């Protein structure tokens, strides 16, 4: 009897809730969610280079003196090329002893001295000369090179606008196939974006979404008279947008 009573109560509750659930379902907004991505090709106008100097010698004083001389050569070169001192920075010196194997169970303790110099070159036309002459002057490591744009914010905003337009065009196309119309956007989010250069050691590559609508724009090309072509860097934006359906 108790089980029958409980069953009747559940049936009665469902009878009252069913119309409410039906009305709630009808009031749920009808939306379509799409992704849009865009990329803008830009000729770089700035180069960041991280040089490294490494010397070693059994005498610590000699190893450091050799390292200092090579660093001075690079700093003198940056002055000769009229690179603003604000864009030239040296880090702390690193010194460590190491054992050099001479064979026949003989070892020699030497001191390894390292120092890095970061140079931001605002005149990219001087890049090839700076790199070549730096190596000639004793620089024996190039830890990384970045080709960048000083107007990254401008091109990021441009890519965002293009990504939003691509998302709206995709939503309009999909909705029209189902005889619906796209209404105002109800949610917008940016899920990735940045810049990438195939010529940079530290560029970040962002994958594309297979469901995304894509847009691309080139910003021109550039080349030099030497052996280095600047190419282009890619500024990207990716958005996800939910539109109401009418």
Q: Are 55 and 233 in contact (CB under 8 A)?
A: no
Same domain, yes or no: 160 and 186: yes
User: Does residue 11 sit in helix, strand or coil?
Assistant: helix
- Residue 163 domain flag: yes
The mean pLDDT value for 194-218 works out to 48
Q: What is the pLDDT of residues 162-205, one digit of tens each?
A: 999 999 999 999 999 989 999 999 999 998 767 666 555 543 33
User: Does residue 141 sit in helix, strand or coil?
Assistant: strand
Residue 66 is part of which domain span?
Answer: 46-148
pTM of the predicted model as reported, rounded to 2 decimal places = 0.66
Q: What is the pLDDT of residues 103-151, one digit of tens each?
A: 776 777 899 999 999 999 999 999 999 999 999 999 999 999 988 899 9
227 or 170: which leads in pLDDT: 170
Same domain, yes or no: 166 and 208: yes
Q: Hey, which bits of 58-158 come out as E strands?
A: 88-90, 94-103, 106-121, 141-148
**Is the pLDDT confidence value at 227 over 70?**
no
Retrieve residue 41's tokens.
Answer: 């090709």
Same domain, yes or no: 190 and 172: yes
Same domain, yes or no: 117 and 199: no
Q: Judge residue 172's burial from the number of C-beta atoms within 10 Å of its C-beta, 0-12 exposed, 13-18 middle, 19 or more buried.
A: middle
- Residue 15 domain flag: no
Give residue 107's Cα distance to chain centre.
45
**CATH number of the domain that 198 lies in?**
3.30.110.170
What pLDDT was estimated at residue 218?
54
Q: How far apart are the first and last CA of the chain?
A: 51
What pLDDT was estimated at residue 191?
83
**CATH number of the domain that 108 lies in?**
3.30.70.2970
Among the three residues 148, 167, 184, which one is the final residue of a domain in this structure? 148
Which helix H or strand E contains 33, and what residues bound it? strand 31-42
Tell me 242's DSSP state: E
Same domain, yes or no: 158 and 236: yes
- Residue 172 domain flag: yes
Same domain, yes or no: 136 and 211: no
**Is the pLDDT confidence value at 85 over 80?**
yes
C-alpha atoms less than 13 angstroms from C-alpha of 23 in its C-beta half-sphere: 5
- Residue 138 domain flag: yes
How many angstroms separate the CA atoms of 212 and 208, rounded? 7
């Amino acid at each position: 009897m108790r089980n029958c009573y409980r069953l009747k109560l559940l049936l009665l509750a469902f009878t009252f809730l069913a119309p409410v659930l039906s009305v709630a379902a009808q009031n749920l907004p009808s939306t379509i969610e799409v992704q849009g991505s865009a990329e803008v090709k830009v000729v770089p106008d700035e180069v960041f280079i991280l040089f490294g100097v490494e010397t070693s010698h059994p005498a610590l004083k000699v190893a450091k003196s050799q390292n200092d001389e090579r660093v001075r050569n690079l700093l003198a070169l940056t002055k000769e090329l009229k690179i603003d001192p604000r864009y030239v920075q040296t880090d702390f010196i690193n010194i460590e002893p190491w054992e050099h194997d001479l064979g026949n169970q003989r070892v020699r303790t030497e001191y390894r001295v390292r120092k890095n110099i970061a140079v931001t070159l605002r005149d990219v036309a001087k890049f090839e000369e700076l790199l070549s002459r730096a190596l000639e002057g004793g620089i024996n490591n190039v830890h990384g090179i970045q080709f960048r744009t000083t107007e990254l914010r401008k091109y990021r905003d441009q890519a965002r606008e293009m990504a939003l337009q691509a998302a709206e065009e995709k939503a309009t196309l999909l909705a029209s196939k189902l005889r619906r119309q796209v209404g105002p956007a109800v949610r917008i989010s940016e899920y990735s974006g940045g810049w990438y250069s195939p010529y940079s050691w530290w560029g970040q590559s962002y994958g594309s979404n297979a469901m995304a609508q894509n847009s691309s724009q080139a910003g021109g090309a550039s080349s030099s008279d030497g052996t280095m072509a600047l190419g282009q860097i890619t500024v990207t934006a990716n958005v996800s947008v939910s539109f109401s359906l009418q």
